[in-house]
A = this chain, B = another copy of it.
Amino acid sequence: MRRPTIVDIAKAAGVSKGAVSYALNGRPGVSDRTRERILAIARDLGWVPNGPARALSPNGRVGAVGLVVDRPAGALAAEPFFTRLVSGLESELTGSGTDLLLQVTADPEAESAAYRRWAAERRVDGVVVVDLRVDDHRTDLLRELPLPAVVLGGGSGGAEGLPCLWTDDAAAMHEVVHYLAALGHRNVVRVAGPEHFRHTGVRTAAFTEAAAEAGLDSAETVHSDYTGDGGTRVTRRLLAHRDRPTAVLYDNDLMAVAGLGVAAEMGIAVPSQLSIVAWDDSVLCRLVRPSVTAVARDVEDSGARLARMLTRLVSGEPVHSEESARGELVPRDSTGPLSEA
């Protein structure tokens, strides 16, 4: 069964090879009517688009993986996490000529729609899932479609049947809380990310537990949205309080830098009157003054590991959940003991 060529289509349509090429490649050079006629004839003849390239690859794979990021654009814009993750993914994918399809969606429904479309149109061989939520319908969907998937987050047992790269946030949280307690802090507030993210709940439970262990007087968690503006608002409220905290732990670097700005604006000295810790280190934490103590994670490495896990999964190899290196406390100039002023 010989495949039809452009010459066959040109003959059948009574047009030049060039016109067929323009029509098939979606380029200008033929009228819409001619284009439609040529495409109809190509379909009738069983023409396979783009010859060898879009035909079956030897292993039946597409050579692309997908990543949907479902966070508001404003939350993404300045947070290095996302770009670091993409860099890590790319470091593995580029070498094998695997494309990364990226979607930034505005809500979970749009994210699910992207997975459905990618699966139906066979756009990707698999996906990397981030920002695991408390009631996460994506894991069910991905198992049903089925679309091979690896998850960033989850726990040692995986993420609802999907292999995951998880990290022991609880252990890192204990380290941070005991460090602040050792510096003499008794009233610590944590400015967390949105409650619907699963890692937020894990960290909240660990924060509460560690605070009790360390004998803190007060250890409240308040929720914000990872944006600079959100961090600014909540910090202003916290620091305006009569019984204000002496240490604040932020769930991302951007909110921590925003908090540092509010302290400066309100004339509260860091660290002699207020200690600040960021969860997730980044160049921001190093650049600002005072530099910000942070819980550092190797996000690029996580991206690379997720890409390798997904590649193995797509190849049909067994893939087990893996633990990534846990966050490491990097003390800088934003934390210290309270000094009696």
Name A's B-contacting residues (CB within 8 A): 1, 3, 23-29, 32, 35-36, 39, 42-50, 53-56, 58-64, 73, 76-80, 82-84, 86-87, 90-91, 94, 97, 99-105, 110, 117-118, 120-123, 125, 146, 148, 227-229, 232, 254, 257-258, 260-261, 264-265, 282-284, 286-289, 291, 300, 314-317
Contact yes or no, A84 B73, CB < 8 A: yes
Complex Cα gap A258–B284 (Å): 9
Contact yes or no, A101 B103, CB < 8 A: no
Contact yes or no, B104 A86, CB < 8 A: yes
Residues of B within 8 A of A91 (CB): 73
Specify how many copies of this chain sit in the oligomer: 2
Give the distance to chain B from A259, nearest Cβ to Cβ, in Å: 9
Contact yes or no, A289 B265, CB < 8 A: yes
Contact A228:B287 (CB < 8 A) given known A53-B122, A103-B94, A103-B100:
yes
Complex Cα gap A242–B316 (Å): 65
Kindly report which residue of chain B lies nearest to residue A91, judged by CB atoms: B73
Which of A77, A125, A227, A287 is the most central at the interface, judged by chain B CB atoms within 10 Å of its CB?
Answer: A287
Give the distance to chain B from A252, nearest Cβ to Cβ, in Å: 12
Residues of B within 8 A of A232 (CB): 287
Kindly report which residue of chain B lies nearest to residue A105, judged by CB atoms: B94
Which of B56, B125, B260 has a CB less than 8 Å from the CB of A43? B56
Contact yes or no, B73 A300, CB < 8 A: yes
Give the distance to chain B from A140, nearest Cβ to Cβ, in Å: 18
Residues of B within 8 A of A257 (CB): 284, 287-288
Which of B24, B26, B63, B283 has a CB less than 8 Å from the CB of A314? B26
Kindly report which residue of chain B lies nearest to residue A47, judged by CB atoms: B56
Contact A1:B287 (CB < 8 A) given known A53-B122, A94-B110, A122-B50:
no
Residues of B within 8 A of A100 (CB): 101-103
Residues of B within 8 A of A78 (CB): 78, 80, 83, 282-284
Which of B61, B82, B102 has a CB less than 8 Å from the CB of A26? B61
- 11 A/B residue pairs, CB under 8 Å, sorted by A: A1-B45, A26-B60, A46-B46, A53-B120, A64-B123, A73-B83, A73-B300, A86-B104, A90-B102, A101-B102, A265-B289
Contact yes or no, A117 B105, CB < 8 A: no
Kindly report which residue of chain B lies nearest to residue A48, judged by CB atoms: B48
Residues of B within 8 A of A104 (CB): 86-87, 90, 94
Contact yes or no, B84 A83, CB < 8 A: no
Complex Cα gap A229–B32 (Å): 53
